[in-house]
A and B are shown apart, each in its own frame.
Chain A
Amino acid sequence: MSEKRLMVDIRGAEKDFGIVMALKGVNLTVDEGEVVLIIGPSGSGKSTLLRSINRLEALTGGQIFVDGDPLVGPEADIRKIREETGMVFQDFNLFPHKTALENISMAPMKVKGKTPEEARAKARELLKRVGLEDREKSYPGQLSGGQKQRVAIARALAMEPKVMLFDEPTSALDPEMVKEVLDVMLDLAQEGMTMMVVSHEMGFARAAADRVVFMDEGEIVEIAPPDVIFDHAEEERTKKFLKHIL
């Protein structure tokens, strides 16, 4: 088996918010094509960690490499890293004044310099992939939560990222809409996308995750494959937390 490429390399990541230390020196590597689920109680630093990778939160210590490119320091090129990392938010954050198609085609045109024809063709292809080919002219206000999140995933994919970051992608959804979003994510995982997902969707974890990371109080407590961590967690804190959510 050939050596896997290191896609995300987090080294000693620290984030000091002043009142709390959200990240206390986190080390984590994610290989190309790997799906990593990050779980933990609220305030454990899991979202902060994810948001540090494209510098929506600036680290106060440590370093992160995305496909070898540093996030911090004089050689850091934040726009390159942001082009290479797609992000999906809990609240979708679609642009309400743009149609579904425009939401998806905008960044490839403005950031990557794609022609409108190229960008729109790609956007239509992505809409089809997330099962919304008939909604290209809809504004976000006319879409359900699940549809919005699928458009948001398509929007992130349009930049052809090397890594996809999902920050609680199903937490704001009504229960009946969770599945349609998870199905899209599952497809993506099976196609070999490198994914980091902050979520407590155990079904998704068992079906798609290679490893599950349990975080608490700004630290990684335990990392293990889903079946191991859910059924035979080693650490007391992990067991206690899992008992609450399972």
Chain B
Amino acid sequence: MAPLEKQGGTRIDVTDGALLPTRGDGRIIDSWRITIAFAILALLTLLFITKDPYDQIFRVVIKGAPLTFGVTAGAILGSIILGLFTGLGQIARGRVLNLIAGVYVELIRGIPLLVQLIFIYFALGKFFHLDGLPAAIIALSICYGAYMGEIFRAGIQAIPKGQMEAALALGMTRGQAMRLIILPQTMKIIIPAIGNEFIAMLKDSSLVSVIALRDILRRGREHVSRTFLSLETYAVVALVYLVITLILSKMVATMEDRMNKHE
């Protein structure tokens, strides 16, 4: 739950994702250091000191990483596009557009992600005969598009009203003003929030393991069914996710710091 600060002090509260350590927050950065030190130490101990069976498990599980990253990256891209239109729909002056965007957001918010994922996956499979990978990416995009829409809406509304007025007064159309003036400024302030969503998405992408995609978790489950080493395997799976997530959190925080400095 990291509150992300934009220029001028307006806050966009993001309700999902990792705790982002920024330089200004000593408490978070300390807990980040302790956690990543623990995670890496634990992983290295298991892999190089205990070795068997952990080195074997790690080699199996890590093969799922490209798929985990692929699904995450694809779904983030999809959800940004969907989120842009949802956010614009929410603030549009047309009542119908407001309703469509609003109902979509309410629907998605009201259904657990796992249930949505399974439902959309099977619904897509029934009508379009999609492969597992594109189906998973589309399903996650639809789920996250709603939250991304809220980020876009908040970001657009954080731009002072005078910007739109100045653009209109110069003779631009509403569309031009949005595209040339409002959205470029919006993108800048929501990039940290999108980074945060990326981290949340990476974790939630583990849900695709239930629809037969061989991501990190799925590889682990398959390994368990072969070897019955459940505790050992899931310990490695958890540590791998933890290390990836912590590193990404740090990257997002650094990016945010840099952007603030350029103000």
Q: Which residues of A contact B (CB under 8 A)?
A: 54, 56, 79, 82-83, 85-87, 89, 91, 93-97, 106-107, 110-112, 141, 155-156, 159
Contact = CB atoms under 8 A, between A and B. Distances in A.
A89 B170 contact: no
A52 to B, nearest CB: 12
B170 A93 contact: no
Interface string B139-166: 0000000000000000000001011011
Contacts of A111: 170-172, 176
A106 B181 CA distance: 10
Interface residues of B, number: 19
A93 B166 CA distance: 6
Contact of B188 (A54, A97, A107, A159): A97
A54 B170 CA distance: 10
B185 interface: yes
Given A110-B176, A110-B180, A141-B263, A95 B171 contact: no
Contact of A110 (B165, B172, B263): B172
Contacts of B171: 79, 82-83, 107, 111-112, 159
B184 A97 contact: yes
Given A54-B168, A111-B172, 15 more contacts: A56-B169, A82-B170, A82-B171, A93-B162, A93-B165, A93-B166, A95-B163, A95-B166, A95-B167, A96-B185, A106-B170, A110-B176, A111-B176, A156-B170, A159-B170
21 contacts: A56-B169, A79-B171, A82-B168, A82-B171, A83-B171, A85-B169, A87-B169, A89-B162, A93-B162, A93-B166, A94-B166, A95-B163, A95-B166, A95-B167, A97-B188, A106-B170, A107-B172, A111-B170, A111-B171, A112-B171, A141-B263
Given A93-B163, A97-B184, A97-B188, A54 B169 contact: yes
B45 interface: no
B10 to A, nearest CB: 14
Nearest to B184: A97
A107 B172 CA distance: 7
Interface centre among B169, B172, B188 (most CB of A within 10 A): B169
Contacts of B168: 54, 56, 82
Contacts of B166: 87, 89, 93-95
B35 interface: no
A110 B185 CA distance: 18
A75 B165 CA distance: 23
A91 B185 contact: no
Contacts of B173: 79
Nearest to A111: B171
Contacts of B167: 95, 107
Contacts of A82: 168-171
Contacts of A156: 169-170
A95 B167 CA distance: 9
8 A-B pairs with least C-beta separation: A93-B166, A107-B170, A93-B162, A87-B169, A111-B171, A83-B171, A82-B171, A97-B184
Nearest to B163: A93
A89 B160 CA distance: 13
Nearest to A158: B170
